[in-house]
Structure 1
Amino acid sequence: MAAVRDNSWPEAEALLAALSPAMVALMDELPGTMFCAKDVTGRYVAVNPVFVARTTERSRRAVVGRRAGDLFVPQLAERYEQQDAEVLRTGRPLRGELERIRRLGGTAGWFLTAKLPVHDDAGRLLGLVSVSHDLRAGEADDATMASVSALVAALEADPAARWTTGLLADAAGCSSATLERRVRRVYGVTPRQLVLRTRVDRATRLLAAGEGTLAHVAAASGFYDQPSFTRTFARLTGETPAQYRRRTAR
């Protein structure tokens, strides 16, 4: 069961009543996807095992009823709460949000996050549901893998290049439409998101190695300037480049 019911918690009861029990139960069967439902006060009402494994707790019962700040490092908790507040404030879904999140054991991975507001039949806002899918290379045919591998090699060799759609397709040896399909099949992101992912990965390596100033890291990673680099890096990772450097300096 992916949720804990409590009659003394009316916000949870209202949100669960608006969700499909089959859909909530199905979330337990997704090995690479974090799922949660949160009420309007920011408390977790339902979570799946993958979500629990990413927190500081070991059981669903210990997670349900708590907030992001209780379960995640401050940088992640702050970003989650900002996203939630925007969805609840505007009533608009968040889709295709590319995020670099630390997995269990401290290793970092890329996730695509979506968050949708939940309303009852009368239109009253009850909370939101969220999924974050771990982006790992899936199965693909040889032509697709060869094409994407060539593209990734080109991106890593020169992340600072002005990567237009045409240049990306040329590097992959295929048309723009085929490129879109192949990159999505392997990585689950668009070609433009793959470019951004490559640049942030390059920046994290340079920051951890303590190589150069932040302005140097920004330029070497393909960002227009240091302010845009700082904004983008913080949005995707939950911490500024300076914070990341302090945390990972070796």
Structure 2
Amino acid sequence: MSNPPNGAARPEARALLDALHPAMVALMDELSGVMFCAKDADGRYVLVNQVFVGRTRERSRRDVIGKRAVDLFVPELAERYESQDELVRTTDKPLRGELELIRHVGGAPGWFLTSKLPLHDADGKYVGLVSVSQDLRSGDADDATIQAMARLRGQVEDLLERGEVPSVADLAALAGSAPASLDRRVRRVFGLSPRQLVLRLRVDRAAHLLTSSSVPLADVATAAGFYDQPSFTRTFARLTGETPSSFRSRSRRAGS
């Protein structure tokens, strides 16, 4: 994903681009089922991938860069996006796992899970945000199943916040279904087994703590539901390709 052709010369856009890791930006262009965008502090799009363009009224990234949500989406969507952005800006906290029905221009609507993270410059000043929206219609899941599984994901995240790691039996009870039925529904929506889903959410929680705080690694391990720091390090490295300490160091370098 090359630098945007329009709007990048604006100070707000330049500040946002400087806060983004180039490798992460390039990776976003490789994803076929994920919408990615980066907005500056003025609410204008600075970077988008082609999947994002496909969900707008425009045909190319050149036509999207420099515009705001109100210029690209129907009023209801634009208002929701701007409300989310303002919440991220004022609270300085990520928005995670927001279930949304996004309509493709001229096509059928699709369910997405959206997350937005604030970005800051080296002095800690807010310079914008990045947003990813994962397409949940990976298989033949109907709307009711998608909504039920999105609620389940939120319940798992709430349990992890309280220091509880749910078992597959716990998930089945939360979802009100038999374990075998739950397995089919989770795989249909997320492409993962229930156990894998919980593990991914634990690693997501750890990654957030590593990048947003100075909490000691042992405490991050506990907060993510791992028995001890060594087991956390092994699992995190296996799933992300780097140790927690190197992940934190790289994140800090990228933001400096």
Coarse TM-score class (shorter-chain normalised): 0.5 to 0.7
Shift of 1:183: 3.9
Aligned to 1:201: none
Shift of 1:101: 1.4
> Which AA in structure 2 matches 1:186?
R
Distance (Å, rounded) in 2 between the aligned partners of 1:189 and 1:78 = 31
Shift of 1:118: 0.3
Aligned to 1:105: 106
Aligned to 2:30: 29
C-alpha contact 1:115 1:130 (8 A) present in aligned 2: yes
Report 1:220-231 matches (<5 A).
none
2:167 aligned with 1:166: no
Task: Specify every segment of 5 or more residues in structure 2 that has no aligned partner in the other structure, as ranges.
Answer: 149-170, 195-256
SS at match of 2:29: helix
What's the TM-score, normalizing by structure 2?
0.58
Shift of 1:182: 5.2
Aligned to 1:185: 187
C-alpha contact 2:40 2:46 (8 A) present in aligned 1: yes
Aligned to 1:40: 41
Give structure 1 regions of 4+ aligned residues with deviation exceeding 3 angstroms: 5-8, 181-185
Aligned to 2:216: none
Distance (Å, rounded) in 1 between the aligned partners of 2:136 and 2:97 = 12
Give aligned-pair identity as a percent.
59
Question: Structure 1 pair 88/184, CA: closer, same or farther in 2 (3 Å)?
Answer: farther
C-alpha contact 2:45 2:64 (8 A) present in aligned 1: yes
C-alpha contact 2:8 2:46 (8 A) present in aligned 1: no
Distance (Å, rounded) in 1 between the aligned partners of 2:44 and 2:17 = 13
Distance (Å, rounded) in 2 between the aligned partners of 1:62 and 1:133 = 23
> Which AA in structure 2 matches 1:45?
V
Aligned to 1:49: 50
Shift of 1:105: 2.6
C-alpha contact 1:87 1:94 (8 A) present in aligned 2: yes
Distance (Å, rounded) in 1 between the aligned partners of 2:46 and 2:120 = 15
Larger radius of gyration: 1
> Which AA in structure 2 matches 1:36?
C
Aligned to 1:206: none
CA displacement, residues 151-171 of structure 1 (integer Å, 9 cap, x when unaligned): 95xx8xxxxxxxx963744x3
2:25 aligned with 1:20: no
Question: Structure 1 pair 189/29, CA: closer, same or farther in 2 (3 Å)?
Answer: closer
Report 1:1-250 matches (<5 A).
1-4=1-4, 8-138=9-139, 166=173, 168-169=175-176, 171=177, 173-174=178-179, 179=182, 183-188=185-190
> Which AA in structure 2 matches 1:187?
V
Shift of 1:7: 6.1
What's the TM-score, normalizing by structure 1?
0.59
Shift of 1:85: 0.6
In the comparison of the two structures, how many residue pairs are matched?
167
Distance (Å, rounded) in 1 between the aligned partners of 2:185 and 2:174 = 14
